[in-house]
Amino acid sequence: MNPINTGEQKDVHEFFNLFVDRMEISLKPTPFKDLFKDIYSYTIKRIKLCSNCDMRSFNLQDELEYNISLEVRNYNTLKDSLDAFFQKEIIEGFNC
């Protein structure tokens, strides 16, 4: 496995994903093989509730994620951005 090229420019998201991938490969033969998955990963469970008929649908994200893409424009704090990320989504019409 080649080391990470520190002379190559990457954004934080690209670097972190590359770092986690390399760490998981390195830790595979050890008792700590699931360290990043156990500590840093998450899954998202989305619950859709129709306001007209009370029908519910659940969707559990299939893949583990290590980062959240948050909108930062027009938000003053991280909490504001997280609140927007977890805001209820209104479903109307044929999507219900």
pLDDT above 70 for 92: no
Residue 10: what pLDDT? 78
Q: Which residues pair with 57 in a beta bridge?
A: 48
Residue 28: what pLDDT? 92
Distance CA 96, CA 82 (A): 25
pLDDT in tens, 12-62: 888 888 888 888 899 999 999 888 888 888 777 777 777 777 677 766 665
Residue 95: what pLDDT? 57
Residue 37: what pLDDT? 83
Q: Specify the higher pLDDT residue, 24 or 4.
A: 24
Alpha carbon distance, N-terminus to C-terminus of the chain: 49
